[in-house]
C-alpha cells in the first residue's frame, strides 16, 4: 500500500514525465519534414507495419502476371505466384483452353483434376493470339503486366509475334519467363515432357535397382520442379527490377532443373573417380563399380545407411513399409530395440565402417523386428529414441491426414462444375502472407471482366471484339484432346 508521501512523489513524477513528453513532442515537430522522413526510411525500407501479422496484404500483391502457360511446368509456377498474391491472368485459346482441361478427365464434360489442381488462384481470359484484334488485346496486356510466363514449344511465342524485342519495346519493365526442355545447345528445339527431362537430367540413370532398368520417379521433378525454379527466378528478377527499372529474360530448362535436384549424384560421379562409393550397399556386397554412378535402390543418399523395410501387414498392404536409417549416434538404441544388444560392442558391428560390409544382414535383422509392428507403431517407438524413420504413406493416407488439412497443405475447394476436390495448397508457409486457395477458373470465365475492368475497353469496343473472333472459337471449334 502506498503512503501519503509516496503518493505525492508519484503524482509529481507523473507531472514531470508529462512535461518532458511535451518537450520531446515539441522538439520533434521542429525537425524538418524531409529529415523526419529520412529517419523513417534510413535503410530504404518503409516503417515496419503496425498491422497484425497476416493482415498487411500478401507477398506479391500488386504483381500482375500474363500467364501464357499450359500443361504442368508453367502452371505450377504461376499457381505459386498466385498463392503469394500475384494477379495471374491466364490466356487460353478460345474454345480449347489449356489442353489439360480435357486430359485424364474423371467427370464427363468437366475440367480435369490435372487442370484444376494446377490452376487455382488465376483468372482465365480467352484470346486467339493469331487474330489481329487478339494481338491488340495482348499488347494492352503486355503494357499492363509485370511478368509474362510461358512454356510453349521453342519458337512458338516468336511465331505469335511476341518476340523478346517486341515485348521489351512495348514494356521495358516486363520480365519474360520461360520453361523450355533444354537450354541452348544441340537439343534446344526439342519438345519435352516430364519423363524426358528426368532422363536427360540424370535422375533416371541413378534411380531404380542395380539389376533393373533406369526408373522415373512419381514426383514431377521435371515439370513441377522446374516451375518452382522459374518462380524463384521471377521473384529475383522483380527484386532486381527495383534497382534497374527494367525487365529481363528468365529461362529455366527442365534438364537443368532436374540436374539441380539430382546434384548429389554428380557429387558421387566425381567421388567415384577417387574410389568406390562406400555408402552404396553394392560396396558392402563386393560388387565392383562401373564408370558412372550406379542405381542405388533404396540406399540413403547421405552418409547414414538406410533402407525400406517391411512392416506388419506387408503381405496384403503394398504400402506397409518404413524407411529406416541406422544413424550412427542412435546405434545403441537400435541394437536394444531389435534385441541385439551385443552388437553395441561387437567389433563387427560397433562402428559405421565395420557395419558397411554387413548392411544387408543388419537391415534383414531390423526387418525381423519391423515386421512385427505396423509402420506407425515403428514410427512411434523409434521417435522416442530419436531414430530417424519414415512410414511409406499412400496417397490415400495423405489425402485423409488431418494435420496436412490443418496446415493448409491439402485443401478442399469447391468448383461450380465438378463440386469439391482436393488440391495441394501453398507448400511455403509465411507468417505475414497467408495463402487463400481459390478454385481454378472456367475457360474464359474472366474474359469480359479483364477486357473492361483491367484493360479499359468500352462497351462499344467490347461488342466489336466479340464479333472479331479474337475471344470466341473459330467457326469450326478445335477439339480439346481427351486422354
Ligand atoms: N491462340 C492461338 N494459338 C495458340 C494459343 C492461343 N491463345 N495458345 C497456344 N497457341 C498455339 C501456339 O502458338 C502453337 O502454335 P504453332 O506451333 O503453330 O506456332 C500451338 O498452339 C501449340 O503450342 P506448343 O507447341 O507449345 O504445344 P504442344 O502441345 O504441341 O507441345 C509441349 C506441348 C509441352 C511439349 C511444348 O509446349 C513444350 O515443349 N514446352 C516447353 C517444355 C515444357 O514446358 N514441357 C513441360 C510440359 S508439362 O509436362
Residue nearest to atom 13 of ligand 1 (CA): 156
Tally of helices (H runs) and strands (E runs) in the chain: 20, 11
Q: What's the pLDDT score for residue 474?
A: 74
Active site residue 223: yes
Mean pLDDT per 10-residue run, the chain (483 residues)? 40 45 40 47 85 97 98 98 98 97 96 98 98 97 98 96 98 98 97 97 97 97 98 98 98 98 97 93 92 95 89 98 96 97 97 91 97 98 97 98 97 97 98 97 98 98 96 69 43
Q: What's the pLDDT score for residue 408?
A: 97
The C-alpha cell 527499372 sits at 245
> Phi then psi for 422, rounded to 5 degrees?
-95, 145
Residues with CB under 6 A from ligand 1: 71-74, 91, 93, 99, 127-130, 151-153, 156, 159-160, 179-181, 191-194, 223
CA 154 / ligand 1 centre spacing (Å): 8
DSSP strand E in 77-146: where? 87-92, 122-126
What is d(CA 278, CA 325) in angstroms, rounded to the nearest whole number?
Answer: 16
What is d(CA 440, CA 416) in angstroms, rounded to the nearest whole number?
Answer: 10
Q: What's the pLDDT score for residue 37?
A: 45
What is d(CA 284, CA 359) in angstroms, rounded to the nearest whole number?
Answer: 7
- Tell me the pTM: 0.89
Of the residues 87, 98, 223, 256, only one is catalytic, namely 223
What is d(CA 472, CA 399) in angstroms, rounded to the nearest whole number?
Answer: 38
Q: Which atom of ligand 1 is nearest to the CA of 71?
A: 48
Q: What's the pLDDT score for residue 163?
A: 98
CA 247 / ligand 1 centre spacing (Å): 24
CA 74 / ligand 1 centre spacing (Å): 11
Q: What's the pLDDT score for residue 456?
A: 98
Q: Which atom of ligand 1 is nearest to the CA of 190?
A: 39
Closest CA to 322 of 398, 395, 397, 391: 391
135, 141, 156, 162: which to mutate for ligand 1, most atoms within 8 A of CB?
Answer: 156
CA 98 / ligand 1 centre spacing (Å): 9
CA 156 / ligand 1 centre spacing (Å): 7
What is d(CA 141, CA 398) in angstroms, rounded to the nearest whole number?
Answer: 40
Q: Which atom of ligand 1 is nearest to the CA of 126?
A: 7
Amino acid at each position: 500500500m502506498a503512503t501519503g508521501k509516496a503518493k505525492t512523489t508519484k503524482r509529481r513524477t507523473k507531472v514531470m514525465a508529462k512535461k518532458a513528453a511535451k518537450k520531446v513532442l515539441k522538439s520533434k515537430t521542429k525537425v524538418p519534414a524531409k529529415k523526419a522522413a529520412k529517419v523513417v526510411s534510413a535503410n530504404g525500407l518503409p516503417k515496419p507495419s503496425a498491422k497484425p501479422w497476416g493482415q498487411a496484404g500478401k507477398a506479391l500483391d500488386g504483381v500482375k502476371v500474363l500467364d501464357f502457360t499450359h500443361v504442368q511446368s508453367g502452371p505450377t509456377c504461376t499457381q505459386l505466384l498466385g498463392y503469394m498474391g500475384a494477379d495471374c491472368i491466364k490466356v487460353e485459346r478460345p474454345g480449347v483452353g489449356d489442353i489439360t482441361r480435357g486430359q485424364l478427365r474423371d467427370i464427363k464434360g468437366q475440367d480435369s483434376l490435372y487442370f484444376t489442381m494446377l490452376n487455382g488462384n488465376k483468372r482465365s481470359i480467352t484470346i486467339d493470339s493469331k487474330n489481329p484484334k487478339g494481338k491488340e488485346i495482348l499488347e494492352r496486356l503486355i503494357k499492363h503486366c509485370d511478368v509474362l510466363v510461358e512454356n510453349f514449344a521453342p519458337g512458338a511465342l516468336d511465331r505469335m509475334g511476341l518476340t523478346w524485342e517486341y515485348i521489351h519495346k512495348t514494356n521495358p519493365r516486363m520480365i519474360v519467363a520461360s520453361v523450355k526442355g533444354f537450354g541452348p545447345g544441340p537439343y534446344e528445339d526439342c519438345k519435352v515432357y516430364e519423363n524426358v527431362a528426368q532422363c536427360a537430367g540424370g535422375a533416371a540413370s541413378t534411380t531404380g535397382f542395380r539389376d533393373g532398368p533406369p526408373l522415373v520417379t512419381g514426383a514431377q521433378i521435371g515439370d513441377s520442379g522446374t516451375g518452382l525454379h522459374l518462380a524463384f527466378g521471377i521473384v529475383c528478377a522483380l527484386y532486381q527490377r527495383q534497382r534497374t527499372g527494367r525487365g529481363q529474360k528468365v529461362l529455366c530448362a527442365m534438364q537443368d532443373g532436374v540436374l539441380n535436384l539430382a546434384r548429389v549424384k554428380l557429387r558421387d560421379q566425381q567421388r567415384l573417380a577417387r574410389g568406390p562409393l562406400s555408402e552404396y550397399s553394392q560396396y558392402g556386397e563386393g560388387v565392383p563399380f562401373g564408370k558412372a554412378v550406379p542405381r542405388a535402390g533404396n540406399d540413403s543418399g547421405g552418409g547414414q545407411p538406410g533402407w525400406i523395410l517391411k512392416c506388419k501387414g506387408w503381405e496384403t498392404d503394398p504400402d506397409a513399409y518404413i524407411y529406416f536409417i541406422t544413424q550412427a549416434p542412435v546405434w545403441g538404441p537400435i541394437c536394444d530395440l531389435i534385441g541385439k544388444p551385443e552388437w553395441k560392442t561387437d567389433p563387427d558391428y560397433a562402428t559405421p565402417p565395420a557395419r558397411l560390409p554387413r548392411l544387408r544382414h543388419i537391415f534383414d535383422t531390423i526387418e525381423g523386428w519391423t515386421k512385427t509392428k505396423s509402420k506407425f507403431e515403428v514410427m512411434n517407438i523409434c521417435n522416442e529414441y530419436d531414430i530417424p524413420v519414415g512410414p511409406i504413406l499412400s496417397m490415400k493416407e495423405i489425402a485423409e491426414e488431418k494435420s496436412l488439412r490443418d496446415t493448409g497443405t491439402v485443401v478442399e475447394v469447391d468448383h461450380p462444375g465438378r463440386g469439391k476436390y482436393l488440391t495441394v495448397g501453398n507448400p511455403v508457409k509465411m507468417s505475414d502472407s497467408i495463402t487463400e486457395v481459390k478454385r481454378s477458373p472456367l475457360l474464359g470465365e474472366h474474359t469480359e471482366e479483364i477486357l473492361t475492368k483491367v484493360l479499359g475497353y468500352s462497351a462499344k469496343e467490347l461488342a466489336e471484339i466479340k464479333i472479331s473472333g479474337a475471344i470466341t472459337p473459330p467457326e469450326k471449334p478445335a477439339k480439346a484432346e481427351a486422354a
